[in-house]
Amino acid sequence: MHMQNELLSPGVAVGTIAIAAGAVGFICHRAKSLINSDRFALMGIMGA
């Protein structure tokens, strides 16, 4: 799907990227505190 350049201004693009980066950082920080080494094997089995 393609968008015209006029639909997304640079300010909106930068704002969206900043919000997305903050959300990904928060999720990674929270996942680091919730997931311990015992769950890595379980995640590998469930993902297969």
What pTM did the predictor assign?
0.61
1-48 pLDDT, tens digit each:
677 777 888 898 899 999 999 999 999 899 888 877 777 778 788 887
Q: What is the pLDDT, as a whole number, of residue 47?
A: 82
Q: What is the DSSP string of 5-22?
A: GGGS-HHHHHHHHHHHHH
Q: Rounded CA gap, 27 and 29, in Å?
A: 5
Q: What is the pLDDT, as a whole number, of residue 18?
A: 98
- For residue 24, count other CB atoms closer than 10 A to its CB: 10
